[in-house]
Each structure stands twice: as C-alpha cells, then as structure tokens.
Amino acid sequence: MMSERITRRVFAKAGAMATIGLTTLETAGAMASQQPDAAPQPSAKANTLEVRPYQLMCVVCRIGQRQTEELGDARLTEILAAVREDPKIPARLRLNTESVYRYQNPGPQEDSPEGEMFNAKRDLDIIQKLGLVPGDARPAIDMFERLLLNVPATKGVCGYETVTADTWQGCPHAGSGNYEKGHALGIKAIIPPRDEQEKADFKKNTVAAIYQAETLQIRPHHLMCMSCFFGARMDNLGPIKEDNLFEAIDAIHKNPDIPVTLVRGTCMICPPCSHYEAETKFCLGGRSMALRDQKKDLDVLQKLGLKYGDTLPARKLYELLYERVPSTRDVCGYGDGEKRAPEWSICGDPEGKETYRKARAANLGIKS
C-alpha cells in the first residue's frame, strides 16, 4: 500500500511545491526556537494551496482507486504532492458563490464537466459538511482529517440516489466505491506517517538526554499531561514509544528537586511522537493540536504566575501546579467545558479527568 512505501522524510525531498494553485500568504513561517523564552517571530511569506472543496474528495477517491502517487489527473496529483511535501501547507478552500463571498470566487476554470450548477452545489455541500465557509484556510493535514471525519461517503454529495434531471446526473465515479475505499485507508494514505526508524532513533537519543540533563526543559501544559499519564498507570508505570512522559516523571522521582525550565513549543517529551516534525520541531497533531497546546501552555503560565524561561525545582513546581490547577477542566476544558470548534476539542472529560485527580492526590508520586 502507498502509505507503507513512502514516508514524510523520504517524500520531502521530492520538490513538489512548484505547482499551479500555489500562491503566497502571510503565515507564521519561522522555525521553532531553541530558546525557552524566545517570542514568536513576525510571519514570513509562505505558500498556500488553493483548492476547490470537491478536489479534496477527488484526491481521496483516486487514492481509493489507485493507491499510487500518480492520480491520473495532473491537478489532483499536484495537490497530493504538495500536501505530502509539507503537511502544514495552508489549504484554502475557494468556490464560486453568488453574493457576499464572491471576493474569493476562483472562476469556472477548474469546474468538472458536470456543469456549473452541479459544481456549485457540490462545493457548497462539502464546505457545509466541513463546517467552514468559502475562503477558509487550514493546515492541509487538518483539512484532510476534517474531510475524513465529516464526509464518509459520496452519496448526496457527488451523486444522488435519484437523478431528477440531466443537470443533476452527478459525477460518474460517485457510485464506484472508490471514495469510500480511500476514506477507509485514513489519513496515512494521504500523508504518509513518520518513519518508524527515525522515531526509534529520536526515542533513544532523547531518553538519554533526559537522564543526563541537569535541568529538564518542559512545556507548561505537559506538566498536566505527565499527571494524567501517571494517574492512568500508577500501578504499572513504564515507558511507551510515542513520547517521553514516563522518562520525565522518572527523572523527577529520582531527583525531586531537579530544576525544570518552562519552555515555549515542543519539549523533551515530544521527539519520539508520530506527530513531531523533526525539521521544524513543530507538532502536526490532528485538528490543530499545536494551537490548543499553545493556549494550554499560556493558561498554565497565567494560573501559576510564571513565564517562559522560568525555572523551579520539580517538587515546588508541582506543588504550585496542584494548588492552582485542581482540575483539567480549568485548562484542557477551557474553564467551562465547552467545545466550540474541532480545533478547540477537549482532551478527556470536559468536567475534568479522573487520572489528573489521582495524580494530584498522589503528588505525582514525588516523595516528601
């Protein structure tokens, strides 16, 4: 299968960005800083991928049919190549509308042969199911994950159970089952996963770095993630391959007064993760995880009265955390437990995770 033959690291060398449909957009393009308190840099010009909503579905449909890199259509192949080269690339949805959203109309040049009205309805049907509006942009990986979550089949979108007129014949591929096959393959068929050997190498090297460190560098909300990890495994605490949560906890157990510096962005815990992009040190976790993580970091800092770059002994830091943040609802649930958009999903129970409560009651296993 395609997702088994190619990885992000290999494909990133393909140079697919020189394609049609790429424009420039002011977007945060600076690489994550190595400095724990370095503020974000001004945005830089970066490419944005302009796509019609139906083209997202066509990419998935062609993957279901072919399961190859060449999709049999130049434009769809270009879209897939650009997304695989950089899963973070902003994908901007453009479609032809009749009124206040006309400012983003792309024109009919990329309409499929089924006619203007069908093209307009299909694009509107898709963008409605995505919960977006014309002109909206998201990182491509988020856009495709949103598509897979909200549009499981072509029925009623690309074709109709009853053909009421020639205008509404629909796409000839709508009943092929190819989209549904591509959908079943999931996001890994669109954006190949991180190389397993790279993950293993990062795990080995970063675990060694944690145990050798005189000071741990941890992003603020990961103090809470460590708590939930501990609370879920109190009777069977051990390492996992996807992150370094156990190792950070273990280092604190071995030396409760080890200094912990609160850092901006990804930290010592992140490098083995499937969603970690080694080149930029960015998190590519689903549905804009990095955005939620930044807010949670800042919420923790505000509640603790601290800032990036501050360093405290682990024991005192956790005493402060558990005093000021009694429940995950206060941070991970945004204080009110309300999920207002997919990008603002809530980790665990909106009312507060039991695993955090257990860790707080046990003081993370830190000896007095």
pTM of the full predicted structure? 0.87
- Write out the DSSP string of 81-106: HHHHH-TTSEEEE----SSTTGGG--
Q: Which long-range contacts (CB under 8 A, 24 or more apart) does 182-186 make?
A: 182/59, 182/60, 182/61, 182/62, 182/63, 182/64, 182/65, 183/60, 183/64, 183/148, 183/151, 183/152, 183/153, 184/64, 185/1, 185/3, 185/63, 185/64, 185/67, 186/148
Confidence of residue 68 (pLDDT cuts 50, 70, 90): confident
Q: Of 114, 72, 162, whose CA–CA distance to 122 is shortest? A: 114
Is 260 in a helix, a strand, or coil? strand
Q: Which residues contact 278 (CB under 8 A, 6 or more apart)?
A: 9, 198, 202, 271
**pLDDT, tens only, 75-95:** 999 999 999 999 999 999 999
> What pLDDT score was predicted for residue 363?
98
**Domain-by-domain residue ranges, the chain?**
2-190, 196-365
Query: Cα–Cα–Cα angle for 22, 118, 177, nearest 5°?
Result: 85
Average pLDDT value for residue range 310-317: 99
> What pLDDT score was predicted for residue 39?
76
Task: Kindly tell me the burial class for residue 336, based on how many C-beta atoms sit within 10 Å of its own C-beta (0-12, 13-18, 19 or more).
Answer: exposed
Distance CA 340, CA 254 (A): 41
> What pLDDT score was predicted for residue 287?
86
313: left (phi over 0), alpha (psi -120 to 50) or beta: beta
Q: How far apart are the first and last CA of the chain?
A: 53
